[in-house]
Structure 1
Amino acid sequence: MDRIRSPIITAFHPVERTMVRDIGTFLRSRADGSSQASVNGRWDIVTEPVDTGIPDIEVVNGQTSLSTAAARNLASTTKSVPQMQNITSRWLLKLLPWVQVSAGTYRVNRRLTYQLGDGRVTFTSIGADVRVIPAELGELPALRGFGDPEVLEALADGFEQREYAPGEVIVEAGAPVDHVLLIAHGKVGKVGTGKYGDEIGLGILADGDYLGDRALLDEPGTHGFTARAATTCTVLALPAPAFRAMLDRSDALRAHVAAFRPDAAAPTNKHGEAEISLTSGHSGEPMLPGTYVDYELSPREYELSVAQTVLRVHSRVADLYNEPMNQVEQQLRLTVEALRERQEHELINNRAFGMLHNADLKQRIYTRTGPPTPDDMDELLSRRRSSHYFFAHPRAIAAFGRQCSARGLYPDTVDLNGKPVPAWRGVPILPCNKIPVTADGVTSILVMRTGEDDQGVIGLNQTGLPDEYQPGLSVRFMGIDDQAVIKYLVSAYFSAAVLVPDALGVLENVEVFHS
Structure 2
Amino acid sequence: MTTATDPATTAAPSATSLDTAAARNLASTTKTPPQMQGISSRWLLKILPWVQVSAGTFRVNRRLSHTVGNGRVEFVSSGAQVRVIPAQLTELPALHGLTDQELLTTLAGHCEQREYGPGDRIATLGDTVEEVLLIAHGKIRKLGPAAYDDAAELGTLADGDYTGDEALAATGPTSWPHTLKAVTRATVLALPLARVRAVADVAPALRDHLEAVAAATRDAPARNKRGEADIALAAGHTGEPALPGTYVEYDLHPREYELSVAQTVLRVHTRVADLYSEPMDQVEQQLRLTVQALRERQEHELVNNREFGLLHNADLRQRIHTRSGPPTPDDLDELISRRRKTQYLLAHPRTIAAFGRQCSARGIYPQDTEVDGVRLRSWRGIPLLPCDKIPVTAAGTSSVLALRTGQENQGVVGLHQTGIPDEYEPSLNVRFMGINDKAVISYLVSAYYSAAVLVPDALGILEDVEI
Q: Normalising TM by the smaller chain, what interval? A: over 0.9
Name the CA distance, whole Å, in 2 between partners of 1:465 and 1:62: 68
> Is it true that 1:194 corresponds to 2:146 in the alignment?
yes
Residue 311 (structure 1) shift: 0.3
Q: Which residue of 2 aligns with 1:380?
A: 335
Residue 218 (structure 2) aligns with: 263
The alpha-carbon deviation at position 214 of structure 1 amounts to 3.0
What residue is the counterpart of 2:231 in the other structure? 276
Write the distance in 1 (CA, Å) between the matches of 2:68 and 2:54: 35
Aligned to 2:4: none
Output the CA distance in 1 between the equivalents of 2:68 and 2:424: 47
The letter for the 2-side match of 1:95 is I
8 Å contact kept, 1:106–1:303: yes
Residue in 1 aligned with 2:418?
A: 463
**Which deviations, in whole Å up to 9, do the C-alpha atoms of 1:299-337 show, x marking residues without a partner?**
000000000000000000000001111100000000000
C-alpha deviation, 1:116, in angstroms: 2.5
Match of 1:350? 305
Q: Which runs of 5+ in 1 are unaligned?
A: 1-58
AA matched with 1:243: V
Does residue 19 of structure 2 align to residue 67 of structure 1? yes
Distance of 2:253 and 2:129 partners within structure 1? 37
The aligned runs of 1:147-296 (5 Å cut-off) are 147-196=99-148, 198-216=150-168, 217-261=170-214, 262-296=217-251
1:371-450 residue pairs with structure 2 within 5 A? 371-450=326-405
The size of the alignment, in residue pairs, is: 454
CA distance in 2, matches of 1:375, 1:232: 22
What residue ranges of structure 2 are gaps of 5+ in the alignment? 1-10
> Which residue in the other structure is 2:262 paired with?
307
What SS does the corresponding residue of 1:118 show, helix, strand or coil?
A: coil
Find the residue that maps to 1:150 and give its secondary structure. Answer: helix
SS of 2:102's equivalent in the other structure is: helix
Alignment check: 8 A CA contact 1:91 1:432 kept:
yes
SS in 1 for 2:108: helix
Conserved? CA contact 1:189–1:227, under 8 Å: yes
In the alignment, the residues of structure 2 paired with residue 60 and residue 416 of structure 1 have an alpha-carbon distance, to the nearest angstrom, of 62
| Aligned-pair CA distance for 1:72 | 2.2
If asked which structure has higher relative contact order (CA below 8 Å, sep 6+), I would say 2
Letter in 1 for 2:142: K
Distance 2:77 2:16 in 1: 78
For residues 40 and 20 of structure 2, the distance between their equivalents in structure 1, rounded to whole angstroms, comes to: 37
1:110 to 32, 48, 62: 62
Secondary structure, aligned partner of 1:263: helix
1:63–1:178 Cα change, 3 Å? farther
Maintained 8 Å contact 1:214/1:220: no
Aligned to 2:441: 486
* Structure 1 residue 253 displacement after superposition: 0.5
Match of 1:122 in 2: 74
> Per the alignment, in what secondary structure is the counterpart of residue 219 of structure 2?
coil
Deviation string 1:150-194 (CA, Å, 9 cap, x unpaired) is 000000011010000000001111111001110000000001111
Matches of 1:160 and 1:255 in 2, distance apart? 25
Aligned match for 2:37, one of 85, 98, 112 = 85
User: Do structure 1's residue 361 and structure 2's residue 313 form an aligned pair?
Assistant: no
2:325 corresponds in structure 1 to 370
TM-score, with structure 2 as normaliser:
0.95
Partner of 2:285: 330
CA distance in structure 1 between the aligned counterparts of 2:85 and 2:52, rounded to whole angstroms: 41
What is the Cα-based RMSD across aligned positions, in Å? 1.2
Q: Which moved more, 1:441-450 or 1:68-77?
A: 68-77
Does residue 428 of structure 2 align to residue 473 of structure 1?
yes
SS at match of 1:509: strand
CA gap of 1:485–1:182, structure 2 versus 1, over 3 A, is: same
Is 1:177–1:214's contact at 8 Å kept on the other side of the alignment? Answer: no
* Aligned-partner Cα distance in 1 for 2:173–2:73: 21
Whole-Å Cα distance in 1 between the matches of residues 101 and 297 of structure 2? 40
One-letter amino acid of the structure 2 residue matched with residue 275 of structure 1:
D
Amino acid at match of 1:298: H
SS of 1:276's partner is: coil
Query: Structure 1, residues 470-495: CA drift from partner, whole Å, max 9, x if none?
Result: 00100000010111001000000000
Residue by residue over 1:363-390, the C-alpha shift from the partner in whole angstroms, topping out at 9 and shown as x without a partner, is 0000000000000000001000111100
Cα distance change, pair 370–65 in 1 and its aligned pair in 2 (3 A): same
Rounded Cα–Cα distance in structure 2 between residues aligned with 1:62 and 1:504: 76
Q: Aligned AA for 1:460?
A: L
2:6 aligns to what? none
Q: Distance in 1 between matches of 2:432 and 2:20?
A: 42
Partner of 2:3: none
Per-residue CA shift, 1:217-266, capped at 9, x if unaligned?
Answer: 33231111110000000000011211111011211100111111233322
Aligned pair in 2 of structure 1 residues 480, 201: CA closer, same or farther (>3 Å)?
A: same
Deviation at residue 61 of structure 1 after TM alignment: 8.7
- In structure 2, what is the Cα distance between the partners aligned to 1:360 and 1:215? 24
> In the TM superposition, what is the alpha-carbon distance from 1:62 to its structure 2 partner?
6.5
SS at match of 1:272: coil
Displacement, 1:140? 1.1
What is the TM-score when the length of structure 1 is the normalising length? 0.87
- Cross-structure match for 1:134: 86
Shift of 1:60: 7.1
In 1, the alpha carbon distance for the partners of 2:149 and 2:414 equals 48
CA distance in 2, matches of 1:230, 1:275: 37
One-letter code aligned to 1:508: E
